Amino acid sequence: MELASARLHKGQISWWGLLLTASLLTTWSPPTTAQVTIEAVPTDVAEGKDVLLLVHNLPQALRIFNWYKGNNTEGAYEIARFITADNTNRTGAAYSGRETIYQNGSLFFQNVDKSDEGVYTLSGLDQDYAPILKFYVRFYVHLALQKPSITSNNSSPMEGEDSVLMCGPYTDNIIYLWRRNGESLSEGDRLKLSEGNRTLTLLNVTRNDTGPYECEIRNLVSANRSDPFSLNIAYGPDTPSIFPSDTYLLQGSNLSLSCHAASNPPAQYFWLFNEMPQASSQELFIPNVTTNNSGIYTCFVNNSGTGLSRTTVKNITVLEAVTQPFLQVINTTIKELDSVTLTCYSNDTGISGIRWLFNNHSLQLTDRMTLSQNNSILTIDPTKREDAGEYQCEISNPVSSKGSNPIRLDIIADPTQGGLSEGAIAGIVIGCVAGVALIAALAYFLYSRKTGGGSDQRDLTEHKPSAFNHNLGPSDNSPNKVDDVSYTVLNFRDQQPKQPASASPPPRAKESLYSEVKKK
């Protein structure tokens, strides 16, 4: 991994940041009264990264200061020294070529490895070369984690078996984490984790435990994750299903069956008809079937991986289409309150149902209607006028249906039955409306006559059988022409009681009322 793209952990900084810090420190002079301290930045560093041993408040009175590997200040362990008088530095016997010493006392390491881990000593001498300070600091170098991988003792278990997954390689001071389908796994009913979580055991695996699985390793300075790993779990076959679900076929149609069963590895399919082998495929097709193709069809499935087999059977019946039935009734004209019986005849066998229709709609049975002998006989007792109309019967089997020719029943009304017919009710309504209109017209006329005023009106009454709006004024050609006069004639006829046939009818009096109004 390149240095510039490395992730920082626990305060770790990049090499250029360390250099910048060291550069700033070379120009900074802390107060002499401050306490000297040293820290490793960072304390935990990944192998191949950089670390700075940062000194705070180095005394200005020092003539020389030295860095040593370990806690021994002998010359064999010297890394570098800095001479303050001329601002120069010298390397020692323990110098590796990757260390840089600064004026402020700090020591910078580049590209550390595991051998750099440990304790380092800073010592200083005053102007008389007498030792006046000695400090220790430690840092730890950790391996940069490589991508782990998952192995299994049984990567193709059968459903119900156990499988053990291991994350490697093994390294000290590493944390192991497991995921399945991107979700963290923890110990549960069918999951067991070893100490340190390096091993994951799956108990009684099911087809839902396929995966994918991932293991992640972490230490203080880095983390890495494995490639996905999936189990190839063998299962099935489950009990097969046959499609479509239809069990009846019309003679002359095609039989097409399909069998499906969940299985890993995929199952092998076989068909039998009445226990006789038919085809070694998932589909079965028979064109133009006849009644001879009626029977038991069996789908047999086998899983070579698990060694298990399953079967499903389906009973198929091939039927002929029904023929047209015949509807019979003794008399199609019936008096109201009499009974009538309609019988539906068919020469077909295996009829599954008989339906009755009235005026092209399903017959709604009333309490006066009964069905008998598998619905083939319809009895209406007593009949009523609303029973008049067209009747049909329709027979069916599971693959076809056919209706009879219609028969019309006519119901003769019984005059002794109370109540009014629809026509009579309609006539009464119309008569009432006409009567109301006539009364309104008469009231309006009388009101106009009363309020018309004056000597210009006169009443003239005579017996004359004339029509309305008859003009009694002189013609325009008369020499004695007078102003035009309009007449309105109303005839009132008195209703006379009905006389016996032998009696001669009395003369009917007719009264005509004329109203004359002069034009102005």
| pLDDT of 515 higher than 60 | no
- Residue 4 confidence (pLDDT): 28
- Give the closest residue to 383 by CA, choosing from 399, 370, 369: 369
Helical ranges in 113-247 per DSSP H: none
Please compute the mean of the pLDDT values over residues 288-303 and round it to a whole number.
Answer: 97
- Residue 456 confidence (pLDDT): 43
| pLDDT of 345 higher than 80 | yes
- Residue 421 confidence (pLDDT): 54
Domain 149-225 CATH class label: mainly beta
Structure-model confidence comparison of residues 351 and 453, the more confident one: 351
Q: What's the fold here for domain 3-142?
A: Immunoglobulin-like (2.60.40)
Please compute the mean of the pLDDT values over residues 52-69 and round it to a whole number.
Answer: 93
Superfamily of domain 326-412: Immunoglobulins (2.60.40.10)
Ranges in the chain annotated CATH 2.60.40.10? 3-142, 149-225, 241-319, 326-412
Please compute the mean of the pLDDT values over residues 23-33 and round it to a whole number.
Answer: 41
- Residue 450 confidence (pLDDT): 67
| pLDDT of 130 higher than 50 | yes
Can you tell me whether residue 182 is helix, strand or coil?
coil
DSSP states of 13-81: --HHHHHHHHHHHHT----TTSPPEEEEESSEEETTS-EEEEEES--TT-SEEEEEESS--SGGGEEEE
| pLDDT of 492 higher than 70 | no
Q: What angle do CA 462, 463, 464 make, to 5 degrees?
A: 105
- Residue 261 confidence (pLDDT): 97
Average pLDDT across the chain, whole number? 82
- Residue 111 confidence (pLDDT): 95
The band of 1, judged by pLDDT with boundaries at 50, 70 and 90, is very low
- Give the closest residue to 357 by CA, choosing from 410, 422, 412, 409: 409
Structure-model confidence comparison of residues 331 and 475, the more confident one: 331
| pLDDT of 399 higher than 80 | yes
- Residue 487 confidence (pLDDT): 39
**Structurally, what CATH architecture does the domain formed by 241-319 represent?**
Sandwich (2.60)
Question: How many CB atoms lie under 10 A from the CB of residue 36?
Answer: 15
| pLDDT of 127 higher than 80 | yes
Tell me the CB-side half-sphere exposure of residue 355, using CA atoms within 13 A.
Answer: 13
Please compute the mean of the pLDDT values over residues 320-349 and round it to a whole number.
Answer: 95
| pLDDT of 288 higher than 60 | yes
Mean pLDDT is lowest, of 352-366, 377-391, 415-429, for: 415-429
- pLDDT tens digits, one per residue of 213-255: 999 999 989 999 999 999 999 999 999 999 999 999 999 999 9
